[in-house]
């Protein structure tokens, strides 16, 4: 017969070992989180920096294969002629584009034979609070694209923009009428912002109030100084998490339940490294986007004011791939699809992918749900 004492000792030993694993993972997650982070491991060269904005170039990969979740992707040695330039939104850090070794957009695109560049907008401080849409779209972005052309030796470029980066992509193309933008890929971009679910409804009500105030007093938000709207990084972190408060809380609850799973704890720390290190918004950008994109909903009419000029979406004629997230609450599929009504592109595709605002770019489903198709679409238009 089994010895009850031996069974009890065995169970106690197992519980002690399990407790030690839980305690070790909890300690590392709280006090040594940086050692768990897997993001930002793909090597890059900084081609230029002005102290705030920098331009990255990702050189060819040395390995023969890369992992893409459970897939092995062969590294293509031949490169497509047209380089791709990733244009991030403001407020995020660049870890989102290189989140995990097996879920890295820059690494994947490099493996698929594309010359990859990325514009890092840096960490704007109070001294940059006057930066607005004109600063980024008509000054900083063109300067970076010129350097990409000098380095690559190619005039034609592909642009990839997620969220506000998608705005910059379309606004630049529309304002500059740059005929050498061959392909434009935009993700999570609201064109009819008032159609973006609950957030759209809220801005419709704000638009009603703003219209009454303007009519009766002549007051406009742009009458105020931009520094009043400067938004620090911690506030952007809270705001982003509030777009999905239940998911944010459940993420930490799941961490508690799965403290014994080292891989899960590592993944949680890596994702948090992105979410918890968001960057400040310059006040001028807040003024322009809140008023012109959200309250006035100018893009729904096919144009937007950039400084003293207007960027008209009908001037965009690059091959266009627009992707919306099925669960995106910031840019719902209905709000994003309106881009198809305004651009002049002959070759234009709109599709809905699983995921929310962040998920369509770097979520666990993104590689199979959209990256493979994106690479195929882009390869057919890059030589």
- Per the model's pLDDT, the better-predicted residue between 137 and 249 turns out to be 137
Q: How far apart are CA 135 and CA 129, in angstroms?
A: 11
Please, which residues bridge with residue 309 across strands? 306
As a whole number, mean pLDDT of residues 365-373 equals 92
Classify burial at 341, counting beta carbons within 10 Å of its beta carbon; exposed 0-12, middle 13-18, buried 19 or more: exposed
Weakest-pLDDT range from 3-17, 63-77, 120-134: 3-17
Q: Is the dihedral of CA 164, 165, 169, 172 positive or negative?
A: positive
Residue 350 has pLDDT above 80, yes or no: yes
Residue 313 has pLDDT above 90, yes or no: yes
pLDDT of residue 276: 72
pLDDT of residue 6: 56
Residue 10 has pLDDT above 60, yes or no: no
pTM over 0.85: yes
As a whole number, mean pLDDT of residues 253-265 equals 65
Question: pLDDT tier at 71 (50, 70, 90 boundaries)?
Answer: confident
- Per the model's pLDDT, the better-predicted residue between 199 and 145 turns out to be 145
pLDDT of residue 100: 83
Q: How far apart are CA 102 and CA 99, in angstroms?
A: 8
pLDDT of residue 97: 94
User: Do strands 157-162 and 84-87 pair parallel, antiparallel, or not at all (unpaired)?
Assistant: parallel
Express the helix, strand and coil content of the chain in percent, nearest 5 each: 50, 15, 30
Q: Can you say whether residue 282 is alpha, beta or left, with left for phi > 0 and alpha for psi between -120 and 50 degrees?
A: beta
pLDDT of residue 101: 83
Contact indicator for 102, 68 with CB cutoff of 8 Å = yes
Contact indicator for 82, 158 with CB cutoff of 8 Å = yes
Residue 13 has pLDDT above 70, yes or no: no
pLDDT of residue 242: 64
As a whole number, mean pLDDT of residues 145-173 equals 97
Q: What pLDDT, in 10s, does the model give residues 57-69?
A: 999 999 999 988 7
- Per the model's pLDDT, the better-predicted residue between 14 and 242 turns out to be 242
Classify burial at 52, counting beta carbons within 10 Å of its beta carbon; exposed 0-12, middle 13-18, buried 19 or more: middle
Question: pLDDT tier at 33 (50, 70, 90 boundaries)?
Answer: low
pLDDT of residue 149: 98
Cα–Cα distances in Å, from 207 out to 241, 256, 288, 303?
A: 25, 42, 14, 17
Question: pLDDT tier at 255 (50, 70, 90 boundaries)?
Answer: low
DSSP 163-191: THHHHHHHHHHHHH--TTEEEEEEES--S
Average pLDDT of the chain is 87
Nearest-10 crossing angle of helices 262-275, 233-242? 120
Q: What pLDDT, in 10s, does the model give residues 314-330?
A: 999 999 999 999 999 99
Q: How far apart are CA 87 and CA 61, in angstroms?
A: 21
Cα–Cα distances in Å, from 118 out to 9, 80, 83, 141, 205?
A: 57, 17, 11, 11, 37
Q: Report the percent of the chain where pLDDT is more than 90.
A: 60
Question: pLDDT tier at 228 (50, 70, 90 boundaries)?
Answer: confident
Helices vs strands, H then E, count in the chain: 16, 12
As a whole number, mean pLDDT of residues 168-172 equals 98
As a whole number, mean pLDDT of residues 262-274 equals 64
Classify burial at 207, counting beta carbons within 10 Å of its beta carbon; exposed 0-12, middle 13-18, buried 19 or more: middle
Cα–Cα distances in Å, from 311 out to 114, 127, 130, 171, 318?
A: 29, 27, 20, 6, 15
- Per the model's pLDDT, the better-predicted residue between 304 and 243 turns out to be 304
pLDDT of residue 238: 77
As a whole number, mean pLDDT of residues 279-287 equals 92
DSSP 136-157: IIIIIHHHHHHHHHHHH--S-E
pLDDT of residue 224: 81
Q: How far apart are CA 337 and CA 146, in angstroms?
A: 30
Contact indicator for 167, 136 with CB cutoff of 8 Å = no
């Amino acid at each position: 017969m089994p010895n009850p004492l031996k069974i009890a000792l065995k169970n106690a030993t197992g519980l002690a070992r399990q407790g030690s694993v839980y305690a070790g993972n909890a300690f590392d997650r709280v006090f040594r989180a940086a050692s768990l982070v897997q993001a930002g491991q793909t090597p890059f060269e900084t081609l230029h920096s002005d102290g705030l904005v920098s331009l990255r170039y990702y050189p060819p990969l040395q390995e023969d294969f890369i992992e893409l979740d459970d897939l092995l992707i062969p590294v293509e040695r031949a490169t497509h002629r047209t380089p791709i330039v990733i244009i991030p939104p403001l407020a995020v850090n660049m870890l989102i584009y290189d989140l995990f070794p097996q879920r890295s957009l820059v690494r994947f695109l490099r493996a698929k034979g594309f010359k990859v560049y990325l514009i890092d907008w840096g960490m704007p401080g109070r001294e940059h609070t006057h930066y607005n849409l004109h600063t980024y779209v008509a000054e900083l972005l063109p300067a970076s694209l010129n350097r990409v052309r000098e380095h690559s030796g190619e005039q034609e470029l592909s642009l990839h923009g997620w969220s506000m980066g998608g705005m910059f992509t379309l606004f630049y193309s529309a304002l500059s009428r740059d005929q050498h933008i061959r392909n434009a890929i935009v993700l999570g971009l609201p064109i009819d912002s008032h159609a973006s679910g609950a957030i759209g409804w809220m801005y419709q009500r704000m638009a009603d109030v703003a219209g009454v105030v303007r009519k009766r007093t002549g007051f406009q938000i742009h009458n105020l100084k931009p520094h009043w709207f400067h938004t620090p990084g911690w506030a952007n972190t809270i705001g982003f998490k509030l777009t999905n408060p239940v998911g944010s809380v459940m993420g930490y609850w799941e961490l508690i339940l799965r403290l014994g799973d080292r891989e899960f704890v590592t993944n949680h720390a890596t994702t948090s490294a992105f979410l918890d290190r968001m960057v400040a918004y310059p006040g001028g950008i807040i003024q322009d986007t809140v008023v012109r994109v959200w309250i006035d909903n100018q893009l729904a009419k096919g144009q937007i004011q950039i400084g003293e000029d207007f960027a008209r979406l009908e001037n965009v004629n690059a091959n266009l791939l627009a992707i919306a997230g099925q669960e995106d609450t910031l840019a719902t599929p209905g709000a994003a699809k309106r881009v198809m009504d305004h651009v002049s592109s002959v070759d234009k595709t709109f599709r809905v992918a699983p995921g929310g605002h962040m998920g369509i770019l770097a979520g666990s489903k993104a590689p199979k749900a959209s990256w493979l198709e994106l690479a195929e679409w882009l390869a057919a238009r890059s030589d």
